[in-house]
Amino acid sequence: MTEKKKLFKNRILKELYFGDTLSCADLCFKIDKSFPVTQKILEELVTENLVTDTGYAASTGGRRPLTYSLQKNVMYLVSVAMDQFVTKIAIMDMQNNFIFPIEKIVLPLTNNPEAVQVLIDKIANVIELSGIPKEKFIGIGIGMPGFVDVEKGINYSFLNLPDNKSITKHITAQIGLPVSIDNDSSLIALAELRFGAAKGDRNTMVINIGWGIGLGLILNGKLYRGHEGFAGEFSHIPIFLNGKLCWCGKAGCLETETSLLLIIEKAREGINAGRLSKLSSLPLHDPELACDAIIKAVKEGDQFAIELFSKAGYNIGKGVAILIHLLNPNKIILSGRGASAGQIWQAPIQQSLNEHCIHRLFQSTSIEISKLGIDAELIGAAALLMENYEQFKVSKN
């Protein structure tokens, strides 16, 4: 098979992954090829058992199109989502299902030279235990915090290898599968773009409310990463004159006035000062549990918890106002762990925009809460791998 045909095949597989069920005409449009070529390749993919036809779609006013989907149980991928403390590993199929319970390991990234090897061993272990033959895996997608150079496969903040060696190449060398990495906030944005609230959008900002405030930018319909891949450093834009020193070394960062860690901190202070709240029994040393508890209190209408989120939301709004002035997005999506607090974010952010934004500008920008939930990063890591899929070699031919 020629190189070119391989590329076309991979592109079709990729489009079917993102599009689920598509007609031949849809695929023509997406891969920018003519009907005869597309159909011929599709036929080949069907005989190779990578694709199946899924019957006729409803008519849109004419002959009903024959539709195609990816064959089930023939291709899998490994999806990994890391934060500073915990790493989640999942095996996913081409229909975006987690086909085993998600593995969760404690893996601190700071001052941990072993981290990369631990990660590799664990991934190999998960593949091994799955019982799925390795040839059926097409690759590994990994999301991680820090400054990530996607092209080179290097993380400048964590998981460094000697001589700035590429992590992706390092892992590929050991496991024998293609690897793609990216920043966690970028992957959450990618998940929203491909499978979430930003589907079909061209200019959307995804705010990752987590231990910090991350930002993934979708500009002109594509994930924007910046000159060196460092775009979206929302957490540390200096917009407050509060004199609070941030761990980044500067003062007045957005992060010093809003983040889940700050909310937990303030909750603790409030309780210690005797504030009346359902939160009196806040778990002390586990941020995940503490966060869940406060969000639960919010949903139960606890006044103190709501107050904390409102203030944080108002401050996020100040940052969002700047985003809207600079980038004129059609939509802002609140995602990440904090998004599970739901509609509570809407009012304070809207209020903040009323105060800090030119009316004509935010008029056409909607604020939405993500529906992808806590596993958005895993979905994004899978999507990242599939975005790069067309460059991979087709295993068999």
Task: Please give the C-alpha separations between residue 295 and each of 102, 171, 263, in angstroms, as whole numbers.
Answer: 23, 37, 10
231 binds its own copies (CB under 8 A): yes
Tally of residues, the chain: 397
313 binds its own copies (CB under 8 A): no
261 binds its own copies (CB under 8 A): no
SS3 call for 325: helix
**Which position among 130, 224, 292, 350 is part of the footprint of its own copies (CB under 8 A)?**
224
**Which position among 139, 232, 270, 348 is part of the footprint of its own copies (CB under 8 A)?**
232
Calpha distance 299→11 (Å, rounded) = 44
279 HSE (CA, 13 A, CB side):
37
Task: Please give the C-alpha separations between residue 383 and each of 83, 94, 131, 154, 186, in angstroms, as whole numbers.
Answer: 18, 10, 23, 19, 11
Calpha distance 128→139 (Å, rounded) = 14
SS3 call for 341: helix
Q: From start to end of the chain, where are the E strands?
A: 21-23, 51-56, 66-70, 76-82, 86-93, 103-106, 137-144, 148-149, 154-155, 179-183, 204-209, 213-219, 222-224, 331-335, 366-369
Comparison of 32 and 281: residue with beta carbon closer to its own copies: 32
Quick one: what does residue 60 bind among DNA, its own copies, none, with the CB cut-off 5 to 8 Å set by partner type? DNA
**Which position among 230, 275, 288, 351 is part of the footprint of its own copies (CB under 8 A)?**
230
Calpha distance 332→353 (Å, rounded) = 12
Minimum distance from CB of 8 to DNA (Å)?
A: 7
Q: From start to end of 145-200, where are the E strands?
A: 148-149, 154-155, 179-183
Minimum distance from CB of 212 to its own copies (Å)?
A: 12
199 binds its own copies (CB under 8 A): no
Q: Phi/psi at 396 (nearest 5 deg)?
A: -85, -45
Stretch that binds its own copies, among 11-19, 27-35, 215-223, 282-290 (CB under 8 A): 215-223
How many chain residues interact with its own copies (CB under 8 A)?
47
364 binds its own copies (CB under 8 A): yes
2 binds DNA (CB under 7 A): yes
**Which position among 60, 220, 281, 343 is part of the footprint of its own copies (CB under 8 A)?**
220
DSSP class per residue in 80-144 = EEE-SSEEEEEEEETTS-B-SPPEEEE---TT-TTHHHHHHHHHHHHHHHHT--GGGEEEEEEEE
301 binds DNA (CB under 7 A): no
Calpha distance 307→320 (Å, rounded) = 20
Quick one: what does residue 215 bind among its own copies, DNA, none, with the CB cut-off 5 to 8 Å set by partner type? its own copies
**Which position among 46, 248, 271, 394 is part of the footprint of its own copies (CB under 8 A)?**
248
**Which position among 119, 323, 382, 385 is part of the footprint of its own copies (CB under 8 A)?**
323
The token pair that represents 32 in the structure block: 């920018």
Minimum distance from CB of 201 to its own copies (Å)?
A: 9
Comparison of 43 and 300: residue with beta carbon closer to DNA: 43
The token pair that represents 77 in the structure block: 């991928």
Calpha distance 292→315 (Å, rounded) = 21
How many chain residues interact with DNA (CB under 7 A)?
23
Comparison of 107 and 353: residue with beta carbon closer to its own copies: 353
Quick one: what does residue 5 bind among DNA, its own copies, none, with the CB cut-off 5 to 8 Å set by partner type? DNA
Quick one: what does residue 65 bind among its own copies, DNA, none, with the CB cut-off 5 to 8 Å set by partner type? DNA
The token pair that represents 197 in the structure block: 């609230």
35 binds DNA (CB under 7 A): yes
Quick one: what does residue 37 bind among DNA, its own copies, none, with the CB cut-off 5 to 8 Å set by partner type? DNA
Quick note: the x/- pattern for DNA over 39-78, rule CB under 7 A, is x----------------x--xxxxxxxx------------
Minimum distance from CB of 366 to its own copies (Å)?
A: 10
Contacts of 99 (CB under 8 A, 6+ apart): 76, 91, 92, 93, 130
Which residues sit at the interface with its own copies, rule CB under 8 A? 147, 156, 202-203, 215, 217, 219-220, 222, 224-234, 236-239, 241, 248-250, 318, 321-323, 325-330, 355-361, 364-365
Binding site for DNA (CB under 7 A): 2, 4-5, 8, 23-25, 32-37, 39, 56, 59-66
